[in-house]
Amino acid sequence: MYDDNNDGGMREFQERGAQEQQEGSMNVYQAICAVAKEMAAEGISKDRKNLQQNYAFRGIDDVYNALAPRLAAHGLVILPRMIGRTVTERETAKGGVLFYVVVEAEFDFVSASDGTRHTIKTYGEAMDSGDKATNKAMSAAYKYAAMQTFCIPTEGDNDADLHTHEVAPRRRAAPFDSNETFSLIANAGSVKALTNLYHQAQDMGASPEQMAKVADACAARKAILLGSQA
């Protein structure tokens, strides 16, 4: 029978309980190490092939299939969280449209046995001509977070998607022509047109002094347009 007045016995009881809890619990770093050990022994083969550039790569499904049973066996959970996303519209070499997406992601690696966790931050990039660019970017972020955490070999793995997109070079804006710009401002028929001309002058690389004159010209034309509508 345990004696509440026995301080030595109380300490021994607490220490034994803490030791038993520690021995029965796998913290997040032990779990990551255990998964990495198994992945090092078997790895993930490159069973997929990019048909345009003729190289093999590991797809996100390959990573899921290899990791899922090991994560479950070692009580490790990976919880994704997207904290940022940018989208840029690009043009293909054939004149089509591509959506280039970059996601900023965090992944919480959590031990199911004791709740300890470690957060990893990474990025994913992808292009798609439809509505799959964000999905692909999220998958890329997950795949590389897993590969780097569990030290999965990636030699020669550029990991493009199954299709490679040919992006047309960006068109450089024409140099700023003050005479043409001020002529267009003087003949602008709406406030929206004035706004577009102002931004166009910025894109053409107008100097701060030139932009100040453009702003004055736009303001004067705007006053005339609004006055004619009164």
Q: What is the mean pLDDT of residues 91-106?
A: 86
Per the domain annotation, does 55 fall within a domain? Answer: yes
**121 membership: H or E segment, kind and range:** strand 117-128
Indicate if the pLDDT at residue 68 is higher than 80.
yes
Close Cβ partners of 53 (under 8 Å, ≥ 6 residues apart): 160, 164
Q: What is the mean pLDDT of residues 63-85?
A: 93
Instruction: Note whether 134 and 32 are same-domain residues.
Output: yes
| Residue located via tokens 């034994």 | 16
Instruction: Note whether 102 and 145 are same-domain residues.
Output: yes
pLDDT of residue 199: 83
Q: Residue count of the chain, please give it.
A: 230
Domain CATH number, residue 137: 3.30.390
Indicate if the pLDDT at residue 157 is higher than 50.
no
Whole-number mean pLDDT of the chain?
78
Instruction: Note whether 128 and 225 are same-domain residues.
Output: no
Q: What is the mean pLDDT of residues 173-200?
A: 83
pLDDT of residue 210: 87
For residues 140 and 40, which has the higher predicted lDDT (pLDDT)?
140
Close Cβ partners of 67 (under 8 Å, ≥ 6 residues apart): 35, 39, 146, 150
The band of 163, judged by pLDDT with boundaries at 50, 70 and 90, is: low
187: containing domain: 178-229
| Residue located via tokens 């005339």 | 224
Indicate if the pLDDT at residue 222 is higher than 70.
yes
> For 42-46, 117-121, 122-126, which range has the lowest pLDDT when averaged over its residues?
42-46
d(CA 188, CA 128): 37
Instruction: Note whether 97 and 192 are same-domain residues.
Output: no
Sign of CA dihedral 81, 86, 87, 93: negative
Instruction: Note whether 35 and 113 are same-domain residues.
Output: yes
* 131 and 142 Cβ atoms separated by less than 8 Å: no
Instruction: Note whether 32 and 133 are same-domain residues.
Output: yes
Burial of residue 207 (number of CB atoms within 10 Å: 0-12, 13-18, 19+): exposed
> For 80-84, 143-147, 177-181, 225-229, which range has the lowest pLDDT when averaged over its residues?
225-229
Instruction: Note whether 40 and 118 are same-domain residues.
Output: yes
The band of 141, judged by pLDDT with boundaries at 50, 70 and 90, is: very high
- Per the structure, the count of domains in the chain is 2
Query: Which range, 49-53, 83-87, 175-179, has the best average confidence (pLDDT)?
Result: 83-87
* 88 and 100 Cβ atoms separated by less than 8 Å: yes
